[in-house]
Structure 1
Amino acid sequence: MSWEMMAVFIGSTIRLAAPLLLSATGELVSQRAGVLNMSLEGMMLTGAFAGALASWYTGNPLIGLLFGTLAALPVALLQAFFSITLKANQIVTGIGINILALGATTLAYREIFGSRSSEAIPGLSKWSPPVLRDIPLWGDQVFDQVWLLYLGGLIILLTALVMHRTALGLALHACGAEPRAVDKSGLSVARLRYLAVLFSGLMAGLAGCFISIGDIHTFTEGMTSGAGYLAIAAIIFGNWKLGRMVLACLLFGAAAALKFFLPAIGIQVPNALLIMLPYVLALIAVAGLIGRQTAPGSLAQPYSRS
């Protein structure tokens, strides 16, 4: 196996992990604040469809990115209303929202593009960092990525800074660990949790846009294909720590990249096995077979002042 083939595999791993990294970062903030946002898949799918539609209609992928990101906010607001205001079961409502998003985007897609359309959509351009792109053999293959990936990396770093170095981050952590202490300090638990869920919606919208107008440059029915659930599994895999979550997303990305990489180097493996590999890893993570996980103490538990 040549160094060039290895570079292609690494580049594919990063590209396929990017939507997981974006959505999992927002979801991690939401879960740290105590809200299990199971509607992440629906938010990503909504963002992917709205971004593709706006990009196709205007011919401008930047407008598509803006609309796709903002389109996920109403879904996030609905999840927050059910989870925080109505104190409904967060898993049941999240799955219900995912089903609603799948049905709505499928219906709209068929009405606008037709059931068998493969309409090419203007997409985001690629960009290579000036120094990294000059690395022999590796530069073009690894670092020639959609510029949204680099913006996402910056957002992840800023999120880590806010969560671990600011009073806001401390308050969000406390909302998921000891919400009553937050309430006694004079801060609003509900307001902080709403903020966290809306942030997860923004990040999920970015992730959806990355798939539709950043990577594939089209939209297909249900194109997120469980990426939202994989992002949630990555958080569990990473034990609710940002650095380990990033590694988990890269692991899932590498597992997905194998279905292209192994046939390219002449290793014949059943394609169905390679497609299911990321989900097998996710199942291992959720089952707790990689060690003891320590979730936020009040995760998925509605808070009431009484």
Structure 2
Amino acid sequence: MNLELLAVFAGASIRLSAPMMLAATGELVSERAGVLNMSVEGMMLTGAFLGATFSWLTGNPSIGLLCGMLGVIPLALLQAFLSVTLRANQIVTGIGINILALGGTTLAYREIFGERSSAAIPGLAHWSPPVLGKLPLIGEPVFGQVWLLYAGLAVLLATSVIMRRTALGVALHATGVAPRSVDQSGLPVARIRYGAVLFSGVMSAAAGCFISIGDIHTFTEGMTNGTGYLAIAAIIFGNWKIGRTALACLLFGAATAMQFQLPMFGLHVPTALLIMLPYLLALVAVAGLIGRQTAPPALTQPFKR
């Protein structure tokens, strides 16, 4: 088998897993705090649209990324207000926000870019580690990625350390396990959950920006195409552990990359089967067929003093 093609496949798998990893990092924190943020898909789509729009308007993709991440904060606050303050059903409110984001971005896209616009949008630069990027065969295809991917890996590692080694991480874990005990200890459960949802929103927006201005360099209606739901499934697949969740994202990314790479290897598999493969793996994860999952006990459960 051609090693160059394998390197291209590996690079594509990493690239396609990146938005899931970014979104799953934030969503894992939110779920660990007891809030199932089902609006990840809508927040990704909103971030993708705002990032593409402001990148196009300013000609600077970094400004687009910043605007995308900041612009999703009102949506995250809405999700937190509905879930934490009003104690509404987290699944229903999340799906409602996803529908709102889909309709809102579609309308705004048609008004700004035109219904059939395919305007090229300035994209984020690629970067590769100094030594790894110069390796023969695999250097550029595998490690020559958008810099946001490496920033996301740094955030993932920092999140892992914070969740495991700091008082904030202990408080987040405890809020998703026994929120009443956290409240009795004097810590503000609502504020912790608000902060977790906001972090989830910002990371989801970064994931959306990765798709629009990091990978495709344009915006299309509904372009996230279920990636936010795959990020949530990756958390279940990873049993709410950050390392396993990252590996699940890579697995889903590889399954997605097969749609484009298998014909290069001379393997002819029905396209429909390849398209459904990531979602089939997600179904396996949600159904619990990969072993017993242990969700935070207070996940989706509203807290009232």
- 1:290 is aligned to 290
Q: In angstroms, what is the RMSD of aligned CA positions?
A: 0.5
The residue type equivalent to 1:160 in the other structure is S
Give the Cα separation in 2 of the matches to 1:187 and 1:124. 40
Give the Cα separation in 2 of the matches to 1:54 and 1:273. 37
Residue by residue, what CA displacement relative to the aligned partner does 1:141-179 show, whole Å, maximum 9, x if unpaired?
100000110011000000001110000000000000000
- 1:108 is aligned to 108
Give the Cα separation in 1 of the matches to 2:13 and 2:104. 31
The residue type equivalent to 2:99 in the other structure is I
Give matches, 1:1-16, under 5 Å: 1-16=1-16
Residue by residue, what CA displacement relative to the aligned partner does 1:204-261 show, whole Å, maximum 9, x if unpaired?
0100000000000000000000000000000000000001101100000000000111
> Deviation at 1:73?
1.1
Residue by residue, what CA displacement relative to the aligned partner does 1:270-302 show, whole Å, maximum 9, x if unpaired?
111111100000001001111110000000000
The residue type equivalent to 2:98 in the other structure is N
Corresponding residue SS for 1:299: coil
Displacement over 6 Å in runs of 4+: none
The residue type equivalent to 1:129 in the other structure is P
1:125 partnered with 2:125:
yes
- 1:17 is aligned to 17
Give matches, 1:156-175, under 5 Å: 156-175=156-175
Give matches, 1:205-284, under 5 Å: 205-284=205-284
Give matches, 1:1-80, under 5 Å: 1-80=1-80
The residue type equivalent to 1:97 in the other structure is I
Corresponding residue SS for 1:13: helix
Give the Cα separation in 1 of the matches to 2:303 and 2:52. 38
With normalisation by structure 1, the TM-score equals: 0.99
The residue type equivalent to 1:271 in the other structure is T
> Deviation at 1:87?
0.2
- 1:190 is aligned to 190
Give the Cα separation in 2 of the matches to 1:27 and 1:287. 19
Give the Cα separation in 2 of the matches to 1:74 and 1:263. 43
Give the Cα separation in 1 of the matches to 2:41 and 2:265. 33
> Deviation at 1:136?
1.1
> Deviation at 1:196?
0.3
Give the Cα separation in 1 of the matches to 2:273 and 2:218. 26
Give the Cα separation in 1 of the matches to 2:65 and 2:267. 38
Give the Cα separation in 2 of the matches to 1:104 and 1:233. 25
> Deviation at 1:265?
1.3
Percentage of pairs with the same residue: 73
Give the Cα separation in 1 of the matches to 2:8 and 2:72. 32
1:135 partnered with 2:135:
yes
Residue by residue, what CA displacement relative to the aligned partner does 1:12-71 show, whole Å, maximum 9, x if unpaired?
000000000000000000000000000000000000000000000011101000001111
Residue by residue, what CA displacement relative to the aligned partner does 1:64-84 show, whole Å, maximum 9, x if unpaired?
000011111111110000000
Give the Cα separation in 2 of the matches to 1:63 and 1:257. 29
Corresponding residue SS for 2:72: helix
- 1:203 is aligned to 203
The residue type equivalent to 1:295 in the other structure is A
Give the Cα separation in 1 of the matches to 2:125 and 2:273. 32
Say how many residue pairs are matched.
305
Any stretches of 5+ residues in structure 1 without a counterpart? Answer: none
Give the Cα separation in 1 of the matches to 2:166 and 2:224. 33
> Deviation at 1:269?
1.2
- 1:85 is aligned to 85
Any stretches of 5+ residues in structure 2 without a counterpart? Answer: none
Give the Cα separation in 2 of the matches to 1:16 and 1:73. 25
Give the Cα separation in 2 of the matches to 1:167 and 1:289. 34
